[in-house]
């Protein structure tokens, strides 16, 4: 089974989980493309990086808007890896960063991560948080746990929003 990003479930509100994500190292590619193609474009350099350095694939693959108006596509590095222990991505569009512990709300869904599905799930998640008076502190990220060839009804995806807790 593919290792997944570590977190603790702090609370459940219906289908929404309030989570405390553990610190980890992320490998990122900033992709200047629209949402629907950025994931595919960013995936290639990330796969090359982990393959060339014998790093295990983990889940999820994360996609979120970047500060530059593009999309950041990221792999979570295996648990226990530190920024200092990671091989440097020389001559690549891949960069590494430490992700500190953070709180977030997550809503799991199956199907595709089309713009309309993600928008609907983000609205649903924001509505639950607003109803409970939980403040969102950052941008939404999409977490994909399965390969694109897996039938949609079997896919595990999540919309995740950082929160103040």
- The whole-number pLDDT of residue 90 equals 82
State the Rg of the chain over Cα: 16
For the whole model, what pTM was predicted?
0.94
Task: Give tens-digit pLDDT for 14-55.
Answer: 999 999 999 999 999 999 999 999 999 999 999 999 999 999
CA angle 108, 106, 9 (to 5 degrees): 105
Buried/exposed code over 23-43 (b: 16+ C-beta within 10 A; e: otherwise): ebbbbbbbbeeeeeebbebbb
Q: Which residues contact 131 (CB under 8 A, 6 or more apart)?
A: none
Q: What's the pLDDT score for residue 14?
A: 97
Q: Which residues have C-beta within 8 Å of that of residue 135, sequence separation ≥ 6? A: 129, 163, 164
Determine how β-strand 24-31 pairs with β-strand 71-76: antiparallel
Here the tokens at position 131 are: 């109803």
Q: How far is 160 from 26, CA to CA, in rounded Å?
A: 16
| Spatial contact of 38 and 24, defined as CB atoms under 8 Å apart | no
Which tens digit of pLDDT belongs to each residue from 103-155?
A: 999 999 999 999 999 999 999 999 999 999 999 999 999 999 998 889 988 99
Sign for the pseudo-dihedral over CA of 75, 81, 84, 88: negative
- Parse the chain into domains and list their residue ranges: 3-162
DSSP, res 22: P
Q: Which CATH architecture has domain 3-162?
A: Alpha-Beta Barrel (3.20)
Q: For residue 21, what are its two tokens?
A: 């994500």
């Amino acid at each position: 089974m593919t290792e997944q990003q570590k977190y603790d479930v702090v609370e459940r509100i219906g289908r929404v989980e309030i989570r405390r994500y553990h610190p980890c190292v992320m490998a990122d590619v900033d992709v200047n493309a629209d949402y629907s193609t950025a994931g595919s474009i960013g995936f290639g350099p990330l796969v090359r990086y982990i393959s060339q350095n014998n790093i295990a694939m983990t889940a999820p693959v994360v996609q979120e808007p970047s500060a530059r108006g593009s999309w950041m596509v990221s792999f979570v590095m295996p648990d226990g890896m530190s920024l200092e222990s990671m091989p440097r991505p020389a001559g690549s569009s891949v960069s590494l960063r430490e992700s500190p512990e953070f709180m977030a709300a997550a809503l799991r869904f199956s199907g595709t991560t089309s713009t309309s599905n993600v928008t609907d799930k983000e609205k649903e998640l924001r509505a639950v948080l607003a109803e409970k008076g939980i403040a969102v502190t950052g941008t939404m990220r999409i977490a994909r746990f399965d390969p694109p060839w897996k039938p949609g009804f079997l896919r595990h995806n999540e919309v995740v929003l950082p929160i103040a807790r």
